[in-house]
Amino acid sequence: MKSYRKELWFHVPTRRAFLNITPKVRECLGESGIREGLVLCNAMHITASVFINDDEPGLHQDYEDWLERLAPHEPVSRYRHNVGEDNADAHLKRQVMGREVVVAVTEGKLDLGPWEQIFYGEFDGRRKKRVLVKIIGE
């Protein structure tokens, strides 16, 4: 069995964003040479997420609106975590959206459904953060 590891780095200039990282993950898969196995992608920061869904702007705006209703950024005084920080809402949003995804690799390709794409969700941007891509298989 082979193993491959790479860190993808992102610097989102805004507080929140959803980035389609499927092409970067496909590139990693090609570099790995693995034809059958599993890909793990996980956010290595507690205010970011990796998830799978459709790459459709309306859905992304629905996520933004829904997450803001669940855990509004302001007023920041509502959160006990916000001592010297203002990102408590980002921790909660990450919890809802998830930390990681695992995707099967079949015949050297990501085995995704017809509309599925892999996303990096940023909830407290404006600094450099990373996603781990770990691929195992043969």
Q: What is the pLDDT of residues 62-113, one digit of tens each?
A: 999 999 999 999 999 999 997 778 999 999 999 999 999 999 999 999 999 9
Q: Which residues contact 46 (CB under 8 A, 6 or more apart)?
A: 91, 94
Q: What is the pLDDT of residues 9-33, one digit of tens each?
A: 999 999 999 999 999 999 999 999 9
Which amino acid, one-letter code, is at 132? L
Token reading at 37: 């196995």
Q: What is the pLDDT of residues 106-122, one digit of tens each?
A: 999 999 999 999 999 99
Long-range CB contact pairs, 106-111, < 8 A, 24+? 106/36, 107/35, 107/36, 108/29, 108/30, 108/34, 108/35, 109/26, 109/29, 110/22, 110/25, 110/26, 110/29, 110/39
pTM score, two decimals? 0.95
Average pLDDT over residues 2-10: 98
pLDDT of residue 82: 77
- Per the DSSP assignment, residues forming a β-bridge with 101 are 41
Sorted by where each starts, the structural domains of the chain and their CATH numbers stand as 2-137 (2.60.120.460)
**Cβ(118)–Cβ(52) under 8 Å?**
yes
pLDDT of residue 87: 95
Q: Residue holding tokens 């990282």?
A: 21
CA distance linking residue 9 with residue 43, whole number of Å? 10
CA distance linking residue 43 with residue 101, whole number of Å? 9
CA distance linking residue 44 with residue 40, whole number of Å? 12
